Amino acid sequence: MKQSTMLLPAGIERFWSTVAHCYPIGSRKHVDGDGLALWEVSLRNASSILPVTSNAPSLIGLLPGAIQLLGENLDLLGTVLSIIESYLLLDAANVLKVIPLSVLLLALTQCLVFGNGTA
């Protein structure tokens, strides 16, 4: 477990730089299932979503991207919801510091309304 904790910042940095390089902010709807699967597995194997050191990349830093993806690509909805669920299970208190409950509920509501075709 100690080795995976030490490797996590490098994995996060690599994942996010790949996503940011290929899909600039505002067009992340093209993130593919493989990238999300890597994100999901990282969360499932993490002991914390907080940074290991003060300046290290962390899983919590990726959370706003998951919220953004909710409204951008309904094909990935199940995986993105699973990612958000993993965040909440790991550390709901810190998740709600980054994404206020009202914002999270609004994003989920809009996603459900849009997904049902009633928007």
Query: What domain count does the chain have?
Result: 1
pTM: 0.74
pLDDT digits (tens, 9 = 90+) for 1-31: 444 545 555 666 666 655 554 444 444 545 6
Q: At a CB cut-off of 8 Å and minimum separation 6, what does 80 contact? A: 36, 66, 69, 70, 73
Q: What letter represents residue 18's amino acid?
A: T
Backbone angles phi, psi at 2, to 5 degrees: -60, -40
Q: Which domain holds residue 66?
A: 2-115
pLDDT at 114 over 80: no
What number is the average pLDDT over the span 77-97?
93
Instruction: Say which residue, 108 or 8, is predicted with more confidence.
Output: 108
pLDDT digits (tens, 9 = 90+) for 31-86: 667 778 888 888 998 888 998 778 777 889 889 888 888 877 778 888 999 999 99
